[in-house]
């Protein structure tokens, strides 16, 4: 299994250019940082660099989407 950050929108535009992925499944998971996480991320943005809690949240969301797709399949 390969996990990719390619969005559904990007897949759509690749298809319009004649590029068609094979055996591709797309899943989404929407999560919230909450008030404390949002404030911390805002301060980290001002300082520059990676915002680790957002990176972790994206990774957890991808894995949650994959787990749900497996359960629903």
pLDDT for the residue 41: 63
Q: Model confidence over 26-72: pLDDT tens digits?
A: 666 666 666 666 666 666 666 666 667 777 888 888 888 888 888 87
Establish if 61 belongs to a structural domain.
yes
pLDDT for the residue 65: 81
Domains in the chain: how many in total?
1
Establish if 66 belongs to a structural domain.
yes
Highest mean pLDDT among 4-8, 10-14, 40-44: 10-14
pLDDT over threshold 80, residue 17: yes
pLDDT over threshold 70, residue 1: no
Q: Are 27 and 68 in contact (CB under 8 A)?
A: yes
Task: Show the domain range for 47.
Answer: 28-73
């Amino acid at each position: 299994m390969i996990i990719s950050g390619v969005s559904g929108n990007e897949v759509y535009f690749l298809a319009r250019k004649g590029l068609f992925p094979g055996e591709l499944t797309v899943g989404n998971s929407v999560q919230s940082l909450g008030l404390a996480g949002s404030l911390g991320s805002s301060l980290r943005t001002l300082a520059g660099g990676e915002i680790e809690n957002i990176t972790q949240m994206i990774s957890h969301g991808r894995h949650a989407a994959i787990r749900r797709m497996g359960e629903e399949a």
